[in-house]
Amino acid sequence: MKLQQLRYVREITRRGFSVSAAANALHTSQPGVSNQVQQLEDELGLQIFERHGKRLTDLTAVGRSVVEMADRVLLDV
């Protein structure tokens, strides 16, 4: 788990689940953000976001916990 991945997850949530808007706000590419989120989900073995097709629509229950943890960690950095 990388701090960058936590920043991406938090920003996606803040931007209404828009990966493109999060990437723009973080001055990076949409595919890069998507890949990092997928890597984090694979590493943790859980799904952070609800999906409808390729679109992110909400946080899963465990995703809410991940975002809360990310907020705490990123405040301490």
What does the pLDDT look like over 5-59, one tens digit per residue?
Answer: 999 999 999 999 999 999 999 999 999 999 999 999 999 999 999 999 989 999 9
Boundaries of domain holding 21: 3-75
Reported residue count of the chain is 77
In the chain the beta strands, taken as DSSP E runs, fall at: 49-52, 55-59
pLDDT at 16: 97
Q: How many domains does the chain have?
A: 1
pTM: 0.92
| 47-76 pLDDT, tens digit each | 999 999 989 999 999 999 999 999 999 988
**The two structure tokens encoding residue 31:** 């595919």
69: CATH: 1.10.10.10
Residue 60's pLDDT is 97
